[in-house]
Amino acid sequence: MYRLFNLLLALALSVPLYAQKLQATTYDFPDPVDTKTREISYQVKKVFVDTVGGVSATNDFPAARLNDFQLVHGNLYAATIEPENTPINYSPWYAFKIWSAEKKNIWLQFVYPHAGHRYIPKLSYDGEHWQPVELTRFTFLKGGYAVMNIEVSPDTLWIAAQEIMDAQRIGAWCEGLAKDERVTFSTVGKSKLGRDLFFMDFNNGKTKKKDIIVIFSRQHPPEVTGFKAMQAFLDELLVNSRSEAFFKQYRVVVYPLLNPDGVDLGHWRHSAGGIDLNRDWAYYNQPETRQVADHVVNTAAAANARVILGIDFHSTQKDVFYTLPDSGYVSAIPWFKQAWLAGIENSIADYALNESPSGIGQPVTKGWFYTQFKAEGVTYEVGDETPRDFIELKGRVAARQMMKVLLGHNP
């Protein structure tokens, strides 16, 4: 019996660590946030029909948000937008389709019982090609309202806070990238409501002992501009002249849609668990953070590799890079951040980069990258109304400069 025990023990110890299922460690952040599941309100999917004026609207599609639509008087209509629960961040997402029996001009007022208007409306006739409304036809009003003048007709008009990038569209984009032999596309689990958690792995076929860069996006459903920056960033990794040399030494793992439920339900901020996922990186109370955090840990362990850099793409009112301070935090690559940010700023004409360093406080990904891996952590924020061509430019420049700095330090 003693020999059998020793044999079993020896076999257990001989199993590589990466073959065992690991879990991300917990960390007591200085400013804890309660991320236990909270109830949400599901909007009723329907077609709203105005039998008097002949105008109709609907929220019956993924990423829609419209809680009521009514004729007020004359040619003035009210679109009521409510959040999934409260309290909630001031980021009221809306998305709906509108049409009329006959071509006519109407005024549309945005009504928010729990917040105020934030996003300048984007318009589309096919759900794919978008333009912001002409500012001469749109204005913010006192009390958090907004009003817009538009032409409606039997041709369906899409109106949304930002361009719609739902789970189906993001999955199709991932499949397109995976046509490149250096990209694999898979899933790492399911959201609370059973939607796929997407994963892409960028490498040259060899992953062992290669330092890893981790990319996150769409923890917050309305933050489409951050997602667009991430798209440009990843596109550049595959076409840049340094790509071959870069992938000989480094690996990039991407989780492009951390909150698929919130995105497809048209949420302002939260997951189907009713919480802000970017406050759940201490104890992983929600299934999305738990599965993604564990997957990052196991991916690194399986390759006997370090995670050295984590970039989480978000959106806010203006472009900013949230970083850790230069003093008090020594990451795996302490030489990287300032060289990278300076390279971005110097590569774009007449551009003053906005960096905002802060220490570890709430349990957000910037701090999680550091506490879990001693990796450099960056929250890459893009302004709501940043011109889309500039988002593309800065995303590509950020990727170029990342490759340049990492390769320059480890040629």
For residue 142, the one-letter residue type is K
pLDDT above 90 coverage of the chain, percent: 94
Please report where in the chains the tokens 């793992």 appear, as a residue.
253
Residues 6+ positions from 56 with CB-CB distance below 8 Å = 47, 48, 49, 50, 98, 99, 100
Judgement on whether residues 91 and 237 belong to the same structural domain of the protein: no
The pLDDT of residue 14 is: 36
100 pLDDT tier (thresholds 50, 70, 90): very high
The pLDDT of residue 253 is: 99
Judgement on whether residues 153 and 245 belong to the same structural domain of the protein: no
Q: What is the pLDDT of residues 149-164, one digit of tens each?
A: 999 999 999 999 999 9
Checking if the pLDDT of 13 tops 80, the result is no
Judgement on whether residues 136 and 190 belong to the same structural domain of the protein: no
Judgement on whether residues 398 and 285 belong to the same structural domain of the protein: yes
The pLDDT of residue 20 is: 56
Task: Give the span between the Cα atoms of 357 and 75, in whole angstroms.
Answer: 49
Which secondary-structure segment (H or E) carries 232?
helix 224-239
Judgement on whether residues 57 and 181 belong to the same structural domain of the protein: no
Last residue of a domain, one of 142, 160, 178: 160
- Mean per-residue pLDDT for 132-142? 97
What DSSP assignment string belongs to 2-30?
HHHHHHHHHHHHHS-GGGS---PPP---S
Alpha carbon 194 to its chain centroid, in Å, reads 18
- Mean per-residue pLDDT for 128-157? 97
CA–CA–CA angle 123, 125, 126 (5° rounding): 115
Domain-located, residue 2: no
Quick one: tokens of 347? 């590569």
For residue 177, the one-letter residue type is L
Last residue of a domain, one of 108, 142, 160: 160
Q: What is the pLDDT of residues 36-85, one digit of tens each?
A: 999 999 999 999 999 999 999 999 999 999 999 999 999 999 999 999 99
Task: Give the span between the Cα atoms of 78 and 374, in whole angstroms.
Answer: 50
Domain-located, residue 5: no
Domain-located, residue 294: yes
Task: Give the span between the Cα atoms of 385 and 163, in whole angstroms.
Answer: 11
> Which domain does 134 fall in, by range?
47-160
Quick one: tokens of 11? 């076999």
- Give 362's Cβ-side CA count (13 Å radius): 9
Task: Give the span between the Cα atoms of 188 and 197, in whole angstroms.
Answer: 6
Checking if the pLDDT of 15 tops 50, the result is no
Domain-located, residue 6: no
Task: Give the span between the Cα atoms of 220 and 280, in whole angstroms.
Answer: 13
Beta-bridged to residue 320, according to DSSP, are 381
Query: The CATH number of the domain where 392 resides is what?
Result: 3.40.630.10
Residues 6+ positions from 362 with CB-CB distance below 8 Å = 29, 31, 32, 33, 279
Query: The CATH number of the domain where 148 resides is what?
Result: 2.60.40.3120
Number of folded domains that form the chain: 2
Domain-located, residue 139: yes
Closest-CA residue to 272 (of 93, 42, 34, 32): 42
Judgement on whether residues 79 and 33 belong to the same structural domain of the protein: no
CA–CA–CA angle 284, 219, 298 (5° rounding): 50
Domain-located, residue 4: no
Task: Give the span between the Cα atoms of 369 and 398, in whole angstroms.
Answer: 19
Cis peptide before 387 (omega within 30 of 0): no
Please report where in the chains the tokens 């949420």 appear, as a residue.
267
Judgement on whether residues 67 and 195 belong to the same structural domain of the protein: no
What does residue 226 show for φ and ψ, rounded to 5 degrees?
-65, -40
Task: Give the span between the Cα atoms of 42 and 53, in whole angstroms.
Answer: 28
Instruction: Give residue 127's region: left, alpha or beta (phi > 0; psi -120 to 50).
Output: left
Q: Are strands 146-152 and 138-140 parallel, antiparallel or unpaired?
A: antiparallel
Judgement on whether residues 264 and 311 belong to the same structural domain of the protein: yes
Judgement on whether residues 210 and 297 belong to the same structural domain of the protein: yes
Judgement on whether residues 24 and 84 belong to the same structural domain of the protein: no
Quick one: tokens of 129? 């090609």
Domain-located, residue 95: yes
Beta-bridged to residue 80, according to DSSP, are 68, 111
Alpha helices (H) along 83-222: 167-177
3-state secondary structure string across 177-212: HCCCCCEEEEEEEECCCCCEEEEEEECCCCCCCCEE
Beta-bridged to residue 246, according to DSSP, are none
The pLDDT of residue 289 is: 98
Last residue of a domain, one of 160, 176, 199: 160
pLDDT above 70 coverage of the chain, percent: 95
Judgement on whether residues 247 and 318 belong to the same structural domain of the protein: yes
pTM: 0.94
Q: What is the pLDDT of residues 185-207, one digit of tens each?
A: 999 999 999 999 999 999 999 99
Judgement on whether residues 27 and 106 belong to the same structural domain of the protein: no
Domain-located, residue 131: yes
